Structure 1
Amino acid sequence: MSTEPPETTENTEPGTPGAATEDAGAAAAGAGEGPDAAEGTEATTGDGDTAAQLSEAEAELAAQRLERERIERRKAEKQGPVESGTKLSGTAADLLAAVRAVESGAKPVATVFSEPEPPRRPAPEPVRQPRPVASEAPAGPAPETVESVRRVLADGGAPESLAPQVAAALGEGAAGQLRADPWQLLRVAGVRTEQADGFARALLGAECGPDDERRGRALTVWLLEQAAVAGHTALEMPTLTAALAQRGVPDAEAAVQNTLAEGEALAFQDALDEPGAPASRGDDETDEDEARPVRVLVGLERYALAEESLADGLARLVNSAPKQDGSAEEWERAATSAGSAADLIRAAATHGLVLHTGGQAARAEPAALLHAAHALGLRAWAATHSPVGRDSFSTLLDGPGVATVAGLLSGAEGPGRDSEGAFDLDLLVLLDAPQLDVETAALLTESLPDGARLVLAGDPAVLWSAGPGRVFADLLAARVCPQIASRLPDPGPLGELVSGIGVGELNQVEAPGKEVVIVPVRDAGEAVHRTVQLVADSVPRAIGIPAEETQVITPGHGGAAGTRALNAALKERLNPGPGRFGGFDPGDRVAYSPAPGRTVPGQVVKADAEGLHLSCAGEAVVVPQERVEQSVRHGWALTAHQAAGARWPAVVVVLPGDAAQTLNRPWVYTAFGRADRHLSVVHGVEQALPRAVAEIPAKPRTTRLAVLLGPLLPATG
């Protein structure tokens, strides 16, 4: 492993290390892993023609409405309501979307339950067919509503510029709601608790106090929203009450109970076999269960419904016999001739749900399964979270059969849906499964027809989903279905390096072709300078990979060597210009977020009265002018969560000194694993890097899926 950059010139630019993670915010008690400043929620609409006519934002909203209605119908049919609490208003769902928009970098926010690493959702992507897409935002609040909110904000000394966001978050009657309960200001992403308290004091005067019931409820919901941003689907009661007490709520338990009574959150009691080990759903009212210890969880309804819907869908797959396409002998012949994919094919032949684990090379095995399924006459499709991953995997197949998750759910890609609204397929292979959050996973499983097979394939060592939940890890831990571990190693020095990281070892590897290069730096300023030098000069000359095929990855958006600083420096070197359209010029490399939680790499083509014209993975996209600031950023540098699921010929990972405390093994594994031929590490964290690899695993997330999957265990032995 070389410790000098390929053909670099010595120069330093002093800089002051900044905050490594502007968007993740500070960690707090009970913190879990925060998603990284990116993106990802999917949608489903009706048939493909309808989806093509809808804007992406409208399709997202319609899909979420349909899915919630479906989940509610299923729960009503089961006649099994959750004991504590009722439904949240639609406002709560809108607010979580706003929180995610903040995490994507539109606004900074001090999250409570995120680790110091920047958050957010991985990226299912837009439609495959190259055609202009008008990315229209949902209709904004009425002007009179905004104006009335503006007056209330002025009375309370809050910035009047927040009026559109408050009106959008609270909906019709926003001004009245805000005047009656000033702490509703916390519904706006980026507002801190001390700011809401100051606003409340200005409006309420002597009536305002830390023990105000309205304050306790608002802070409880706010904390649950921040926890969801950090990846939790619920919080244990002691964690929640401790966080409330830390924010000056005198009777934290009463605040939680008031929130439950108002239907703004739900409570659950999960039985434990032993302390800290979930064992069952805890809803069987037996003497034995009553005697067992329980943990009490509190969560927002949207994630409770998603996890329960997901568990129901997985139970249907696990406990139902898959459709018999091809005889047992035909499946066995296909397995026998498939080499390393034999075990995967045999498992898929007889099971409705199969998990497949492995690295980049192991993707050949799901490809072999798809080949075999097609030969047996199955309607088989694969899905990836990004168009980059889709195009890469399609090279392993002879023909079509790969879609993005977003395109599959919307109907714009893939097989479409049958007359009952289910996917018109027999086998779905989902790649990069660790990126699945509970809402997306629920949408997918609910959309599978009876008798279909689902194969979840991915590398369990990479970063978890940027959205709430840890679906793939929970399923692996629950052991409710066959798990096929690939034995195909990733080749070469890069494969050896990344494989070692996966088991906690940062090894020195022989890299005769300069596959791995370490570039030491002293400070953030030098890190930025060396990164630009590598991308623009050294890697193209020494390795033969042009700048447009090199991706920079750094821990956060903020700081002196975050994505903002690096993108500014790279633009100045690679595509200088005045930024005539919202800071962008033709030829700029960008990261486009078509919906909260998604990131699509692209390039600026032009700008006109319609908006900013982009080319994203072969698709023409038009972003209206009013949405450019919110949904388009420069993309020469990304965070690790934004880059997950994609690979580039060359990757430059930037580790400035101020990033030391943000590093953990999954982050390093994911960032280093994005390189296909060459990896340069701009290294300024000294011993923090090997320590992170050896000692710092992913922080736990609080989820209920493993508990909800408990009843599946008897069915599968």
Structure 2
Amino acid sequence: MTTPEESPAPAAEQHAGTVAALAEAIRAVGKSGADDQSAPAPRADGPSADAQRRAALDAVAEVLAAGGAPAQLAPAAVAELGEGAAELLREDPWAVLALPGVRPEHADGFARGLLGAEAGPGDPRRAQALVAWLLEQAALRGHSAQELGEVSEALRAQHVPDPAGALQAVLVDGRVMPFQEELPMPPGSHDEDEEPPVRTLLALERLALAEESLGEGLVRLLSTFTPGEDAEEPSGEAAAEPSDEAADGPSGEAAAESPAEAAAESPAEAVAEPAAPAVPVQPGPAAWEAAAAAAPSRSAQELVRTAAGSGLVLHTGGEAARAEPAALLHAAAGLGLRVWAATWTGQGRDSLAALLPAGSPAAGRIGTLAELLYGSGAELPRAVDGTLPLDVLVVLDAPLLDVETAATLLEALADGTRLVLSGDPGGLWSAGPGRFFADLLAARACPAVASRTPDFGPIGELVSGIGIGELQPVDAPDKEVVILTAKDGGEAVHRAVQLLTDSIPRALSIPSEQTVLITPGHAGPAGTRALNAAAKAKLNPGPGRFGGFDPGDRVVHSPALGVNLPARVLDGDAAGLHLELADGGRLTLSPQQAGKLRHGWAVTAHQAVGRRWPAAIVVLPEDAAGQLTRQWVYAAFGRAERHLSVVHAAGPALAQAVAERPAAARTTRLRSVLTDQ
């Protein structure tokens, strides 16, 4: 076996060899992907289904034990690999890499336990599992694709003797899809016949198909959008006596009858079609211009005018700029259009609703994105074809959309729907793979409206400066911004908890439950674990009698990647742990779900996105330097509404991050997909 240290050829030559070996596979596979050879498992209902599951779990536990793996992995194995997981693991022990938390060294040990001396580093099954695992790990870091050379080098680091052969086998198998992208010509190149450089990217099938679907959906909205037309002025008697079929709308044309009016006039029809509101007449330019002129600010007027003429619009701005999508909602609803807005969190939904004028026709037409896509549909029933019956959809917090969620959103929109994506480009990107909003901005595929409304007060001034790479002191006469230094993580924790429990409640009358601690990571001397332990000891000490939690504990429930629900523990019993959610409502977690719960006095910036608190305490320990970027600092500092305290032990790393590290790079394909389409 050839190790990286004994590599017989330079890395550049090996990379070139890998590209050559993959050329045939790339031509064969292209961009169409492999056919899905998997068949759905047969359905079994009632007691037999339970018996089959128990049998599958027992069989998997037996195989895991034979390979020296913990039996606790059995439920995850059945969930990920299906009821045939035991047989699959016997045939391919490295398939265990697909389970959460399993690393290559664990899989190698498991394979040796099952196969003995036959489990070598060059086993094709090992290489194929490693490629999928590497791309999954890249997806957790936000990449929707990886350059071929990076994957090849990572395989070599795992002592795979033939990375090129391994990659080719994976492509033929259909687990991974290859793509070639043209790169910009190098500066100073003037030869028109010179071929542009290309790079080869590898992507997991699900992510590749999501970006292709996303590109198709965006192009579909742009190509099917048709703006309304102004009604012709009637003449003679027709002008004096409007017909019974039409009532004067905002622009003089026929105004659409609302669903409520239709139900009142024709109850039989309303009962027959409860989920199909009438399609309104599209207002023309004059009606939109009148609505824009009534908007409360120049930026809001520009957004309304831009939305009038395009099926896809991007809107950028900070917290204060959220008033502009609210103005667009009000205007579109006033024009009789079927309009809806989606936010990332319940708090975002409520704050957007508060920005609507009193009595706005858009009231009640705001929900969370999860409710819109995956809810019961009680507020917004789907059309017969499964699409959302909307003329205008405004999505706030759009940078938080990963490519798979964005593709699901686009698939739910009917042809001709106006989609307005609004968000702060300086904030954190999605927890899942991709940089959907940033790629759309960079591609310039549709109109973009940049808000000119600044964020208010010292906190807004500080955050705005960070957004352009400047960390400058600001005047804070009422202690809106306070910077404290600490020599190490231990002192940072002490100071932060003192602020949370004493200084901020006493000096600013902001109670502890309205203040959040934000830090870069979970581990370390001042990570969320250390901060939460200290905050609990001070604010809600107890034995943790419900799986480590006590009534009154602040917690964060994360049911899915990028979804974080702040809550408070009520109590626990045989049914599970009972929570009161910060956004309203109650939730009971099973013991298994409660095992993944975290305390919530302290959170990471990624857990805090989409929300704001009256006060925020940002803790920057001395080991945070490698995690800090301008994007992270901007997002963390921007979580504060009235007061921001920064407990600073990171030295010059903070200023360097703001000035020199805008964001961690992500490899994605959406821009090239849009170019191709």
Q: What's the TM-score, normalizing by structure 2? A: 0.82
Pick the aligned partner of 2:541 from 549, 557, 576. Answer: 576
8 Å contact kept, 2:613–2:640: yes
Q: How does 1:225-624 map to 2 (within 5 A)?
A: 225-274=136-185, 291-322=195-226, 324=228, 325-338=282-295, 339-340=297-298, 341-397=300-356, 398=358, 399-412=363-376, 414-616=379-581, 617-624=583-590
Q: Secondary structure at the match of 1:536?
A: helix
Over 3 Å counting, the alpha-carbon distance change for 1:331 and 1:84 in structure 2 is closer
Q: CA separation in 2, counterparts of 1:579 and 1:208?
A: 44
Q: CA separation in 2, counterparts of 1:443 and 1:675?
A: 32
Report the residue type matching 2:308 in the other structure.
A
695-704 vs 590-599, which moves further:
590-599
Partner of residue 624, structure 2: 659
Q: CA separation in 2, counterparts of 1:139 and 1:644?
A: 40
Over 3 Å counting, the alpha-carbon distance change for 1:352 and 1:421 in structure 2 is same
Q: CA separation in 2, counterparts of 1:318 and 1:241?
A: 38
Report the residue type matching 1:464 in the other structure.
W
Return the offset for 1:597: 3.6
Q: Secondary structure at the match of 1:599?
A: strand
Return the offset for 1:425: 1.5
Return the offset for 1:272: 3.2
605-614 vs 461-470, which moves further:
605-614
Q: CA separation in 1, counterparts of 2:351 and 2:50?
A: 37
Q: CA separation in 2, counterparts of 1:483 and 1:84?
A: 33
Which string of whole-angstrom CA distances, capped at 9 and with x for unpartnered residues, describes residues 234-265 of structure 1? 11111111111111111111111111111211
Task: Confirm or deny that 1:155 pairs with 2:155.
Answer: no
Return the offset for 1:415: 2.0
Q: CA separation in 1, counterparts of 2:348 and 2:194?
A: 48
Q: CA separation in 2, counterparts of 1:624 and 1:411?
A: 21
Which string of whole-angstrom CA distances, capped at 9 and with x for unpartnered residues, describes residues 324-357 of structure 1? 3222111111112212211111110010000000
Unaligned runs of 5+ in 1: 1-28, 30-79, 92-137, 277-287, 713-717
Return the offset for 1:591: 0.8
Q: CA separation in 2, counterparts of 1:516 and 1:583?
A: 35
Q: How does 1:621-632 map to 2 (within 5 A)?
A: 621-630=587-596, 632=597
- The share of aligned pairs that are identical, in percent, is 58
8 Å contact kept, 1:87–1:301: no
Report the residue type matching 1:308 in the other structure.
E
Q: CA separation in 1, counterparts of 2:376 and 2:552?
A: 28
Q: CA separation in 1, counterparts of 2:107 and 2:604?
A: 31
8 Å contact kept, 2:227–2:310: no
8 Å contact kept, 1:149–1:166: yes
Return the offset for 1:606: 2.4
449-458 vs 159-168, which moves further:
159-168
Return the offset for 1:568: 1.5
Report the residue type matching 1:369 in the other structure.
L
188-197 vs 669-678, which moves further:
188-197
Q: CA separation in 1, counterparts of 2:51 and 2:439?
A: 38
8 Å contact kept, 1:141–1:167: no
Q: CA separation in 2, counterparts of 1:139 and 1:415?
A: 36
Q: Secondary structure at the match of 1:607?
A: strand
Which string of whole-angstrom CA distances, capped at 9 and with x for unpartnered residues, describes residues 70-113 of structure 1? xxxxxxxxxx972454448599xxxxxxxxxxxxxxxxxxxxxx
Over 3 Å counting, the alpha-carbon distance change for 1:417 and 1:555 in structure 2 is same
Pick the aligned partner of 1:219 from 93, 115, 130. Answer: 130
Task: Confirm or deny that 1:82 pairs with 2:41.
Answer: no
Q: CA separation in 2, counterparts of 1:187 and 1:661?
A: 28
Return the offset for 1:625: 2.5
8 Å contact kept, 1:411–1:417: no
Return the offset for 1:322: 3.9
Q: CA separation in 2, counterparts of 1:540 and 1:268?
A: 56
Report the residue type matching 2:592 in the other structure.
E
Return the offset for 1:218: 0.7
Q: CA separation in 2, counterparts of 1:480 and 1:245?
A: 39
Return the offset for 1:693: 0.4
Return the offset for 1:711: 4.3
Q: CA separation in 2, counterparts of 1:162 and 1:665?
A: 39
Unaligned runs of 5+ in 2: 1-10, 12-28, 41-48, 229-281
Return the offset for 1:192: 1.5
Over 3 Å counting, the alpha-carbon distance change for 1:543 and 1:332 in structure 2 is same
Q: CA separation in 2, counterparts of 1:234 and 1:262?
A: 18
Q: CA separation in 2, counterparts of 1:629 and 1:289?
A: 61
Question: What is the aligned residue count?
Answer: 576
Return the offset for 1:163: 2.5
Q: CA separation in 1, counterparts of 2:321 and 2:519?
A: 26
8 Å contact kept, 1:86–1:264: no
572-581 vs 433-442, which moves further:
572-581
Q: CA separation in 2, counterparts of 1:595 and 1:231?
A: 15
319-328 vs 542-551, which moves further:
319-328
Q: Which has the higher contact order (CA 8 A, sep 6+)?
A: 1
Q: CA separation in 2, counterparts of 1:612 and 1:228?
A: 32
Q: CA separation in 1, counterparts of 2:578 and 2:409?
A: 31
Q: CA separation in 2, counterparts of 1:141 and 1:335?
A: 62
